[in-house]
Amino acid sequence: MQQGLRIAASVLAADFSRLGEEVRAIADAGADWLHVDVMDGHFVPNLTIGAGVVAALRPHSTRPFDVHLMVTPPDPYVEPFAEAGADCITVHAEAGAHLHRTLQRIKGAGKRAGVALNPATPVSAIEPVLGDVDLVLVMSVNPGFGGQTFIASQLGKIEALRALIDAGGRAVDLSVDGGIDERTAGLAAGVGADVLVAGSASFAGGPSAYPGNVARLRAAGEAGRTGSPGTRARPRSIGAAVS
């Protein structure tokens, strides 16, 4: 069943020169989770942070750390990020040959396990392991960089995953990451997302703006869920709205 709406602020968009302060500020502003993008310059064309940075940030917030591993192979990174303080570790279905084994490794480390799907990866990729995951992450941009435009076709994927998760009867979080702002938050939530990962829209304007940023994202998502006019749309009808 669908869970309560949560805003996961992506620290990729934070000011890296004062990252601890940024984490505290966005948590104080009302963000429910801290989303941490880990990129290796191989699986995706960018290089970000390692487990040491997560460990350094952990004392700055009690919010759940949602660590998104955009790395291949993912297995060697599971234990270091678990020990650094990750609460959920998400790996890509495309990143390794033995997805089930990787998920069991995450569970064995005592952490929630997630699977991410790139825009071109079909819903069927998650079906064999759906009973083993705590979170499914739909990439609504091609991973690797922040600030990209939401890919409208992913709304159909979110909707299909929502139906698949609900049919399974387990509480699995359905997250969407990429191009989430006040416009697209309602669209994603309206077709079933319950975790909205937002970087630029969370951290725009500096710390004084963070409470308003988070509040507007949450309001847009909740409006999409309740079907307020202009926010809830079916996948086939929204191309013009987000292009």
| pLDDT tens profile 110-143 | 999 999 999 999 999 999 999 999 999 999 999 8
Backbone angles phi, psi at 144, to 5 degrees: 140, -30
Query: For the chain, which residues score pLDDT lower than 70?
Result: 1, 228-243
Unique residue bearing structure tokens 């998104």: 68
Three-class DSSP category at 38: strand
Is the pTM higher than 0.85? yes
Measured between alpha carbons, how far is 62 from 34 in angstroms, rounded to an integer? Answer: 10
- As to burial, measured by CB atoms within 10 angstroms (0-12 exposed, 13-18 middle, 19+ buried), residue 96 is middle
pLDDT at 1: 64
Catalytic residues: 37, 177
pLDDT at 3: 83
Measured between alpha carbons, how far is 240 from 243 in angstroms, rounded to an integer? Answer: 5
CA–CA distance from 200 to each of 9, 70, 96, 104 (Å)?
Answer: 9, 19, 29, 33
pLDDT in tens, 209-226: 999 999 999 999 999 999
Measured between alpha carbons, how far is 152 from 150 in angstroms, rounded to an integer? Answer: 6
